[in-house]
Amino acid sequence: MREFRAAVEARNGEAFDGLLADDVTFTSPVAFKPYKGRHITAAILRGVLRVFEDFHYLREINDGDDHALIFEAMVDGKKITGCDFIHVNDAGKIDDFMVMVRPLSAAQALSAAMGAQFGTISEEAVAAAQAEAVAAGSEA
């Protein structure tokens, strides 16, 4: 979890990809359906870095392969408090990532800010998947 936390705190969005399992499930606090896969999850996390201001972790709770990282940030002038619930698989990769946030007004601000990012997020995820497919094809 140290690597993930360090990447977030350093706002190093490129580091996420190597920390996520290929089959990771990301459950958003503002979307009904979870997102599946490393590329979309990494792109969402990079999008969050673009919309969160003054992000910092307050506390970390660990129980074996399960981790809870409590954070605060600002979104569109609203203070948001949240928690990243993270599970790592046997290989040490994040395979389940769920975020919860409060209060409702901040969650709504987050929803609007992430909605504005989603075109970019989708493009990043598709481009990463295509680049990986090309690289895999050239290795064959």
Q: What is the pLDDT of residues 56-84, one digit of tens each?
A: 999 999 999 999 999 999 999 999 999 99
What are residue 51's phi and psi, to 5 degrees?
-100, -25
**CATH number of the domain at 2-122, please?**
3.10.450.50
Residue 134: pLDDT band with limits 50, 70, 90: confident
Contact 57, 69 (CB under 8 A): yes
Q: Is the pLDDT of residue 95 over 70?
A: yes
Q: Domain locations in the chain?
A: 2-122
What are residue 119's phi and psi, to 5 degrees?
-60, -45
Contact 83, 68 (CB under 8 A): yes
Look up residue 52 and give its two tokens.
């969160």
Q: Is the pLDDT of residue 140 over 70?
A: no
**What is the pTM (predicted TM-score) of this model?**
0.91
Closest to 85 measured CA to CA, from 96, 73, 101, 72: 96
Which residues lie across from 81 on neighbouring strands? 72, 102
